Amino acid sequence: MSADDGLQRGLSRRCTLPDPKLDALWTSIIIDDAIKDQLLGQAVLNFTIRSKVDRSVLPLHGVILLVGLPGTGKTSLARGMASETAHVLSGKFQLLEVDPHSLTSSAMGKTQRAVSDLFSQVVAEHALSGPTIVILDEVETLAADRGKLSLDANPIDVHRATDAVLVQLDALADRFPRLLFVATSNFPKAVDSAFTSRCDLVQAIPLPDRAACARILKDCLVGLGRTFPAIGRLATSANFDQGANACVGLDGRTIRKIVANALASRREVALDPNKVTMDDLVRAVYVARRTIRSTPHRSASETWITIVELLTHGNASAARTELLAVAGVASSIITDQFPKDVPIVVTCDGPRTRIHCTYDEDAIDGTDASEDGFGFDPLAGDWMLSFPCGKDDLAWVQAALKPYSHVCARGLDENVEKTSADSARDDEPLAIDVGRFLD
Ligand SMILES: Nc1ncnc2c1ncn2[C@@H]1O[C@H](COP(=O)(O)OP(=O)(O)O)[C@@H](O)[C@H]1O
Ligand SMILES: [Mg+2]
């Protein structure tokens, strides 16, 4: 990418589009074509229609939001979509990428000013010179949900930054019909609803399904095969399916990381990557799976404490406080044996962790248990823990968990990756309840 050095504050990238490297990102993300079509269609529409139709007729703000679990390809899709849009419209576009962290890390009281300056000066200046696409990656940092922020825990500055973003979005939408914002969020519950209501499209990016997992794994093995031919051959080996099946439930980034982890898992393989086997791969997948002995080996509440210790490495932290605060709900879920067949799932910026519990004979016997600590931080960055929960209990459990921003519950037949994409209807692009995203 031809990012230049003299970047204004708050920007992490500026380049012209189309850009072949970004085109490659668009093709590298393996996802239902309908999602890519919808995204590209919305982006193109922004440039073909907004300058011609009054906002009172069609209230388009020029904002697309991609939401999904970490590692599902949102940032890559946002960049790729920007470049594809320039191709489709055969025009020269500018791409700006905002680094929200650099804006919010400024001294207290300065965030609002930094946000306002970036939008009203830098973005407006580019938008004046021609069609412009602005990527707001991890937008929850900038447009944090004011309703969920407590004033003690979060400086008033964050509230003001959210206000500034909204004011600026409205002003820019009015002035520049050839400007498009593409925002991403790993954590849609934290995005202010006034921001999501301004989005012309909220697109949920799901975890890859089985076929997509197989394609991502194959793509990764074939790519490595260009340097290490024996790895490439795994992609067509008889036990390829075994590896692909093990990857189901993982996000695209983790699948690629697992291949890297497998290469590092044995010294022999690290020295000669051609020696990696499908077994190494499958073993690497299970690194982030734990089975905890529950009743009668331990009480339900002791089971939960064991899980919290495991996830937090026994260290005091805000995460630990939140996990301990939900002990009542957790114990009830464990007592009801929901985590027996359907795991408690923890997602974060690193590998996702699946935690099962065993009960009765299995809990006493303990042979299936795996209670070792993790070699990584399962709560790194934006984490989220999702309890499996039976239909009859789901409503009260979800209500009880409402005050907790990192803990949620889902039905037993819902994948943790279940998003609102399934229920999104073409005629209702604004009606997606992203708050339910991880519920
Ligand atoms: N659906 C997918 N198909 C192929 N690769 C994927 C997919 N999802 C994620 N990846 C891989 O994971 C990497 C990280 O993706 P990224 O766009 O940063 O995800 P996000 O922004 O959702 O966290 C990508 O570079 C890509 O290699
Ligand atoms: Mg991202």
Per-block average pLDDT, block size 10, for the chain (439 residues)? 61 95 96 97 96 87 92 96 97 93 68 86 94 94 71 62 88 94 88 92 94 96 96 95 87 87 86 94 78 95 96 91 97 96 85 88 89 80 94 95 95 59 27 29
d(C-alpha 17, C-alpha 40), whole Å: 15
pLDDT at 108: 56
Ligand number nearest to the C-alpha of 76: 1
- For residue 296, whether the previous peptide bond is cis, meaning omega lies within 30 degrees of 0, is yes
Query: Residues whose CB is under 5 A from ligand 2 (ion)?
Result: 75
β-strand partners of 355:
290, 344
Q: In this structure, what token pair is assigned to residue 356? A: 């099962």
Q: Is the CB of 206 under 6 A from ligand 1?
A: no
Residue type, 209: D
β-strand partners of 67:
185, 204
Q: Take atom 17 of ligand 1 and give the residue whose Cα is closest.
A: 73
Angle at 129 (CA atoms; ends 124, 130), nearest 5 degrees: 100
Please count the other Cβ atoms lying within 10 Å of the Cβ belonging to residue 215. 17
Q: Is the CB of 252 under 6 A from ligand 1?
A: yes
pLDDT at 102: 79
- Ligand 1 atom with the smallest distance to the CA of 208 is 1
Domains of the chain: 11-206 (3.40.50.300), 210-286 (no CATH), 294-418 (no CATH)
Q: Is the CB of 177 under 6 A from ligand 1?
A: no
Q: Is the CB of 75 under 6 A from ligand 1?
A: yes
Give the list of residues 6+ apart from residue 175 with CB closer than 8 angstroms, or none.
124, 127
Q: Which residue from 67, 76, 182, 419 has its CB within 8 A of the most atoms of ligand 1, so it is best to mutate?
A: 76
Ligand number nearest to the C-alpha of 77: 1
**Ligand 2 centre and the CA of 327: distance in Å?**
31
d(C-alpha 213, C-alpha 244), whole Å: 6
Q: Take atom 27 of ligand 1 and give the residue whose Cα is closest.
A: 253
pLDDT at 436: 32
Least Cα distance to 254 among 207, 290, 222 occurs for: 207
Q: To the nearest 5 percent, what fractions of the chain are helix, strand and coil?
A: 50, 15, 35
pLDDT at 123: 94
DSSP string, 81-150: HHHHHHHHTT--EEEEEE-HHHHHTSSTT-HHHHHHHIIIIIIHHHHHHS-EEEEETTGGGTSB-GGG--
The one-character DSSP state at 7 is P
**Ligand 1 centre and the CA of 62: distance in Å?**
24
Phi then psi for residue 233, to 5 deg, are: -70, -25
pLDDT at 428: 26
Per the CB < 8 A criterion, the answer to whether 176 and 124 are in contact is yes
d(C-alpha 156, C-alpha 45), whole Å: 37
pLDDT at 13: 93
Q: Is the CB of 73 under 6 A from ligand 1?
A: yes
Q: Is the CB of 218 under 6 A from ligand 1?
A: no
